[in-house]
Structure 1
């Protein structure tokens, strides 16, 4: 097991971070707080801090999966408030902007044909509708900083220029995860770049955990902020290493080993539960449906004490367990 303990780590509810990126007492501008989106206030603070404190202008800033703008506005406002802003902006020519934002522009409708509506801040959104108008309005005051790339992320290539801050919130399929690894990770600035994967501590998407386990020697782990896992580049990732996809190429046993390298000592029960669910999805995707269902039964027993939240949270722990059973039984898991 890799040692992921952080010396003098700062801790709060679902937050465990390296002291050098402490944001727990940080005040952030109103627009960062109020921009609609799914990113938590703590994650917005973390991104704002990285942009205002750690960004030096040596490379680009990536926001992959901008949704309605909360993450990219956090980064852009941090750059704008960076005391070295003038010097930072002078390092980019007139044809380029420091932040590259990537967004498909809509969330897919439910496959069963039903309507699904959720509220993000003051914005009510119906899945399947375009939200590009909202995103463009959110970033309107940062046109000099943000290059907005609209469409399927896998249709975009990165031009092999250095990357200093990389926030990723779109690895919803193994294909997208592979594209992120192949295009962004070899260009992280050695020893300085921060890479944040927002979907790491999530109950599905096991390919993310497998990939980061495979690449663990190239990163120093800087902690968890809700579902985000934070890494600092330790050494340059060779292109051939980044292009190899362990999730699709390696055996189930090897994938399980890499999945289980994740930081675990500090995790609260809810996150341990979600990581265990991710492990069950990995088994199912790799063809071991019976083993996955048996493992789910053991998870249900181990985490029984946090499965009584159905009345207060309609998308909580009980919902996620039921969804895992249903999807694995019907063999309709994401991949």
Structure 2
């Protein structure tokens, strides 16, 4: 009779004479250990969202979106590989965004200012002027100083949790610091939306890329960023991928939401979906492998910017993006 997985236990190996009684070597039955993603072992990535009230007022501060307790990570993390934060900066003040990371991405939700960074290793000094709607990325290097001209809020994502898990520190810059201006992003996305046939697309979005990374077509060699819109009255059909999405809502009216679930119905809709309502300046997580569809029941276009570890997944050939 075949033994069911719930009746199979782990088999620790304690072979005196070869490994000795103090050895940490173990053996596990394949049927119980091949997929250890389950509560209490390798915990699944949870659904979670954060509203704009988190950064609406208060002194200058870095506000982590920290799920380390749920994920079992040793430091602040929003997914196993990435950490997201809101950064609130009062006018004429500065905040240092320090992290042992290979990639740092900043989205300016409001305000204006300058990012200044000194030279370190093979990463040259840089200065980037930023304003509302801009996005910029920095490679490994010195901690940047974010100096605000006016009251500002930025969204910051980096890959320090991945490096902590690997037990490594960044040793070289893999791309140059790069700035993506808001006017350019909006103009190019509107041109895409106006192109013939675009209304039939699964997503109306631009993938931000870097000339230093031609094979992955991603914003850094680890991070992927998509600037997208959901037109008024539109429902964008479900898709899924194996990367975690840290979704930032740039702008929306009430009545915009995302449906998320693990399975599809025969008609391509999501079975027993969870609904995540959007708020301008809020953020939420889409776990890997979960189908998700964006719905806009409002009278205005909604704008979003998901950030993922898809640069890494693309390099590993494991992204596995699928469309309903």
Q: Considering the TM-score relative to the shorter chain, is it more than 0.5?
A: no
Q: If each structure's helix is expressed as a fraction of its own residues, which one has the higher value?
A: 1
Q: Which is richer in strand? A: 2
Larger CA Rg, structure 1 vs 2: 2
TM-score, reference length from structure 2: 0.26
Using the size of structure 1 for normalisation, the TM-score is 0.26
